[in-house]
Amino acid sequence: MRQIREALRLHLQADLSYTEVGRALKISKSAVGKYVSLARVAGVDWAVAQMLSDEALEARLYRPALPRSSHQLAPDFAHVHQELKRAGVTLMLLWEEYARGNEQAYKYTSFCVKYRAFAQGLKRSMRQNHVAGDKLFVDYAGQTVPVINPITGEISATQIFVATLGASNYTYACATPRQTTADWIGAQIRALEFIGGVPRLIVPDQARALIKNPDRYDPQPNRTYEEFAEHYGCALLAARPAHPRDKPKVEGAVLLVERWILARLRNRQFFSLGELNDAIAALLVDLNSRAFKKLPGCRRSAFEELDVPALRPLPATRYTVSRWKGVKVNIDYHVEFEGHYYSVPHRLVGTRLEVRATDTLVECFAANQRVACHPLSHGRGAHTTLGEHMPSSHRAHLEWTPAKLIAWAQGIGVSTAAVVTWQLEHRPHPEQGYRACLGLMRLARQYTPQRLEGACTRALAIRSPTYRSVDNILKSGLDRQPTNVPTTTSPLPGHENVRGPDYYH
């Protein structure tokens, strides 16, 4: 009793923790906790303990066994099982509440033994203790439901997604076209909205649609799934491959959905995914309202009592499912996504970027910084280009049109307009003359518009209205000399080697 008395003094008077008291007395902290719990149940604090002798203190802490009926004294272990799902609730706390003021209560050891025997009698998926609001287990059922296309008559096998909360077993189910990344994440978004909150962890399979590097010990989710978890502020804990007991809750929920929902729909025909989901939603209400066999209440009541207070609120906006792809910037400063080409700043040529696409936007990221954003386009082989992404020379080329170039030339003079018009008309495509016209604009800035007009006049006179001719005329200063170009040509002198035009007839 001296050791018990000293343990009570150190904890109740000196305010030491169980660990500190155990270290001081060379006993385990669980033994200290047991002594303190016995005193608390007996209503003994340190002031009372000081006034009691060892015999009286022992009598208060260790009450003699009384004749009793186990049926009358047994606690409600179903209630205990549910209460253990609350955060921070332990068997010691529940025993103290049960034994306080109850002289015929079980001792703590008997209480624990009888509870564990009760828990062993529950079905496998109920044995684990799950904290309220802690985990949402997700999976797809093995069964599918046929949906008939009302126009073509084609039958597609829709997949059935199932999610359930660990503490309350509150269950959600819906149908998706396939099991793609968008289907997986879209179904989980609807599951979170169905329960009206966010758990601490989501436990999926290591499906290839979600996990880019499946691994027994360190699975890596793909970028879209990581972004989804970040948006909702939860963590991902993928179950080990081929270990269904890592997620027994959803394994059991899948069986319930197949028996209580899909079996009831087996004789019905559905002509759209929405029609099928409406039927599933109606039967979900009945599934979650069915009473537990060995526990009090039902899934809905357990959900409202346990999970609702513990779930974190949903974010203000719904997550938009995106697709990610690693790309390399081509020499034309464009990246390819689903057959379409999108421009990025030309300085990124040759670097690797990440492309994120939603139903409306395509975003390009370099080192987690967004460098480009475009509306999503489905035109395969086409280009979407922004002017600010182009080099200055390319941008100038893009901004000019034939009409704009001719208008500029007319502002210089008649000859300059004639040379520009010749450049645009004597090419297979007008854009091929843009570069020469832009070169003429550079010459106007370098030599003045007046000299350019004179050079163009001379180039027309010698019938060579090309950029190179105009440039050479300005370099040699011929634009400042009078133009004396003969309008007729003199006949060639007679010679025996000159065949003449008649030779070719």
Cβ–Cβ under 8 Å, residues 466 and 436: yes
Report the alpha-carbon distance of residue 363 to residue 370 in Å, rounded: 7
Per-residue pLDDT, 71 = 44
Say whether both 404 and 384 belong to one domain. Answer: no
pLDDT band at 21 (very low <50, low <70, confident <90, very high): confident
Q: Tell whether 408 is covered by a domain.
A: yes
Tell me the two tokens of residue 42: 């007996």
Helices 29-42, 54-61: axis angle to 10 degrees equals 90
pLDDT band at 302 (very low <50, low <70, confident <90, very high): very high
Helices 402-412, 434-447: axis angle to 10 degrees equals 30
Say whether both 169 and 213 belong to one domain. Answer: yes
Per-residue pLDDT, 501 = 53
pLDDT band at 41 (very low <50, low <70, confident <90, very high): confident
Say whether both 295 and 168 belong to one domain. Answer: yes
Q: Tell whether 171 is covered by a domain.
A: yes
Q: For residue 418, report the phi and psi dihedrals to the nearest 5 degrees.
A: -65, -40
Per-residue pLDDT, 429 = 60
Per-residue pLDDT, 505 = 45
Q: What is the mean pLDDT of the chain?
A: 85
Q: Tell whether 39 is covered by a domain.
A: yes
Say whether both 258 and 281 belong to one domain. Answer: yes
Q: Does residue 272 or residue 494 have the better pLDDT?
A: 272
Q: Which of 64, 79, 95 is the last residue of a domain?
A: 64
pLDDT tens column, 129-145: 678 889 999 999 999 99
Tell me the mean pLDDT in the region 72-100.
Answer: 80
Per-residue pLDDT, 127 = 47
Per-residue pLDDT, 129 = 67
pLDDT band at 70 (very low <50, low <70, confident <90, very high): very low
Q: Which of 49, 64, 79 is the last residue of a domain?
A: 64
Q: Tell whether 88 is covered by a domain.
A: no
Say whether both 343 and 442 belong to one domain. Answer: no
Say whether both 302 and 172 belong to one domain. Answer: yes
Cβ–Cβ under 8 Å, residues 274 and 172: no
Cβ–Cβ under 8 Å, residues 10 and 29: no
What 3-state DSSP class applies to 168? coil
Q: Tell whether 80 is covered by a domain.
A: no
Say whether both 384 and 286 belong to one domain. Answer: no
Per-residue pLDDT, 162 = 96
pLDDT tens column, 260-282: 899 899 889 999 999 999 999 99
pLDDT band at 125 (very low <50, low <70, confident <90, very high): very low
pLDDT tens column, 351-399: 999 999 998 999 999 988 999 999 999 988 888 989 888 887 666 666 6
Distance of CA 220 to the CA centre of its chain: 13
Say whether both 177 and 255 belong to one domain. Answer: yes
For residue 500, is pLDDT > 70? no
Say whether both 295 and 365 belong to one domain. Answer: no
Q: Give residue for tokens 């949906």.
A: 147
Q: Tell whether 69 is covered by a domain.
A: no
pTM reported for the whole predicted model: 0.57
Say whether both 245 and 142 belong to one domain. Answer: yes
Say whether both 169 and 49 belong to one domain. Answer: no
Cβ–Cβ under 8 Å, residues 417 and 425: no
Backbone dihedral region for residue 185 (phi beyond 0: left; psi -120 to 50: alpha; all else: beta)? alpha
Q: Tell whether 298 is covered by a domain.
A: yes
Report the alpha-carbon distance of residue 299 to residue 16 in Å, rounded: 42
Q: Tell whether 163 is covered by a domain.
A: yes
Per-residue pLDDT, 485 = 52
pLDDT band at 489 (very low <50, low <70, confident <90, very high): very low
- Our count of domains for the chain comes to 4
pLDDT band at 433 (very low <50, low <70, confident <90, very high): confident
Say whether both 375 and 438 belong to one domain. Answer: no
Report the alpha-carbon distance of residue 354 to residue 343 in Å, rounded: 13
Cβ–Cβ under 8 Å, residues 465 and 456: yes
Q: Which of 310, 340, 367 is the last residue of a domain?
A: 310
At 160, which CATH number?
3.30.420.10
Report the alpha-carbon distance of residue 265 to residue 183 in Å, rounded: 22
Report the alpha-carbon distance of residue 294 to residue 122 in Å, rounded: 7
Lowest mean pLDDT among 40-54, 105-119, 121-135: 121-135
What domain range includes position 28? Answer: 1-64
For residue 337, is pLDDT > 70? yes
